[in-house]
Amino acid sequence: MTAKNAKEILIFTLNPLKLTLLAMVICGMRADGALQTGSFRLSFDGINPSIVRKNAGVQYSFDLSKEEFFIHVPKNHSPSTPFGVLIFIHSGDSMELPEGWDRILASRKLIFMAPQKAGNSQAGGRRLGLPLIGVLKLMEKYAIDRERVFAAGLSGGGRTAIRMAFLHPEWISGVVSCCGADYIAPIQWKRGPPKDNYGLFPVDPISAVMARCRTRFALITGPGDFRHNPILDLYEDGFVKNRFMAGLFDIPGMGHSLCSTETLEQALEFIEKKPAWMENKNAVAERILKTLTNAGEPETIESAAMEAWRSAVDPELQRYAAAFARSVAKTTGQIKRFEFMLAALDDPRAASSHCEGTCNALTRQISRERMELLTQNPNLDKK
C-alpha cells in the first residue's frame, strides 16, 4: 500500500460526511434524509427502550448494534399515515420476506420486521424479548399505528408470537401463528395428549384478562401438520372455551409449513377486526351500569370487570368504567385488583405499571413454575 493510498483511506474513514452517510444506512435512512422503504437489514443504536412491566425469563436488554432485523417498508408508507407492524419470528435463525407478501403488506399498510437469530435453537427469553425491543425501536424511526402491532411466526416461532401476546397484550393486538400454539392453562386433550408436554405457557391473571380483551389470535394448521391435533385441542378447549377472540384456519392439504398468501390475507382480515364489544359502545356502557346493581357474585364481578376494562380503552366510556371499577372494588374490598382498569382510563398501557405491585408476587410465582417446567422439559420451547 502506498502512502497516497493510505492517506486516501484515512481521509475516507474520518470524513464526517461519509460517516454520516454510513450511519444513515445503519439507521434505515436514505442519503436525502428520507426514511428508507423496500427491503433492507437494519441495526439500531445501543439504547434499549424502557419496558414498564417485565416478565421473568424474558430478555429485555441487548447490544442492539450487534443485532440485525430484516425490514420491509412498503413504498406507499408516509410519515403522515401511520402503518401497522407485522413482527415475524421464524423457526430458523434467518428470515426474509416470503414471496408475495409485499403486495399484502402494502395493501394493508403494514411494515414487516423479522429479528435474526431468533429461531428454535435460541434461548426462549431472547426470542420473546428481541422482537418487542425491535418494534419499540422501530417506532422511534417510523410512523407506527400502535394499535396495529401484530406478531406472527412459524412452528416454534408461532408459539413464541402467542407467548409475546400473552406476556405483553398491552403491545400485541393480534397474532398469526402457523403450525404452533400455546395456551395459558392445562386443557383436556380430546385427540390424545402430545408426548412432549406441548402447549402450556402460564401467565399472570392480569395479562390473561388483558389478552382476552384486546388480542385476536389466528391459528393456522392443516391435516399434514404434525401439530394438527394439539392445535385443534388448544383452540377448542383453551381459546374458545375461555372466550378468547380466536379463529382457526384448518387448511386442507397444508403440512408443517408457512401458510399461503391467500390464508395470510384471511388471517390478517380476522385479527384486524374490531372486537364485537367495540362495535356497539352504548350497549356495552348500559350493561356495565346495570351490573353495578348486582356486583356481589364473583362470576358477575369478573365478567363485568372485563367489560369495564374493555370500555376503558374508549374515551366515550371512561366515566362508566371508572364508576364501575370503583364500585366493584368497594364491594369486594379488592381495590388493588382493579387498579389496572382505573389506570387504563388514561392510557391502557399504563395499566401494567399500576397493577405491578399487586400482581408482582403472583407473576414471580408463575414465572418460577414456567421456568421449572422448562427445566424439566428442555425441548418445550422448540418446534
What pLDDT is attached to residue 191? 92
The yes-or-no verdict on residue 307 having pLDDT over 50 is yes
Share of the chain above pLDDT 70, in %: 62
Range with the poorest average pLDDT among 102-116, 154-168, 183-197 = 183-197
What pLDDT is attached to residue 48? 93
- The residue among 317, 358, 324, 340 whose CA lies nearest residue 211 is 340
Q: Please state, in angstroms and as integers, the Cα–Cα distance from residue 185 to each residue in 2, 182, 204, 370, following that order.
A: 69, 9, 11, 11
The yes-or-no verdict on residue 361 having pLDDT over 50 is no
Average pLDDT rounded to a whole number, residues 24-29: 46
First and final CA of the chain: distance in angstroms? 52
Secondary structure of residue 42 in the 3-state scheme: strand
The larger pLDDT score, comparing residue 362 to residue 247, is at: 247
Topology of domain 35-273 in CATH is Rossmann fold (3.40.50)
Judge contact between 89 and 118, C-beta under 8 A.
yes
The yes-or-no verdict on residue 239 having pLDDT over 90 is yes
Average pLDDT rounded to a whole number, residues 151-162: 97
Rounded Cα distance, 229 and 254, in Å: 13
The larger pLDDT score, comparing residue 319 to residue 39, is at: 39
pTM of the model: 0.71
What pLDDT is attached to residue 261? 97
Residue 331: alpha-carbon gap to chain centroid: 34
The larger pLDDT score, comparing residue 152 to residue 5, is at: 152
The yes-or-no verdict on residue 30 having pLDDT over 60 is no
What pLDDT is attached to residue 255? 97
Q: Where in the sequence of the chain do the CATH 3.40.50.1820 domains occur? A: 35-273
What pLDDT is attached to residue 379? 53
What pLDDT is attached to residue 169? 87
The yes-or-no verdict on residue 150 having pLDDT over 60 is yes
What pLDDT is attached to residue 209? 73
What pLDDT is attached to residue 278? 55
* Number of other CB atoms surrounding residue 39 within 10 Å: 13
Range with the poorest average pLDDT among 113-117, 191-195, 230-234, 261-265 = 191-195
What pLDDT is attached to residue 326? 52
- The residue among 174, 115, 178, 166 whose CA lies nearest residue 150 is 174
Average pLDDT rounded to a whole number, residues 124-136: 95
The yes-or-no verdict on residue 359 having pLDDT over 50 is no
Which of 248-257, 308-317, 331-340: highest mean pLDDT?
Answer: 248-257
Share of the chain above pLDDT 90, in %: 49
Q: Per residue in 365-383, pLDDT tens?
A: 444 554 555 555 555 444 4
Range with the poorest average pLDDT among 72-81, 162-171, 238-247, 278-287 = 278-287
The larger pLDDT score, comparing residue 368 to residue 156, is at: 156
What pLDDT is attached to residue 166? 95
3-state secondary structure string across 108-136: HCEEEEEECCCCCCCCHHHHHHHHHHHHH
254-283: b (≥16 Cβ within 10 Å) or e? bebebbeeebbebbbebbeeeeebeeeeee
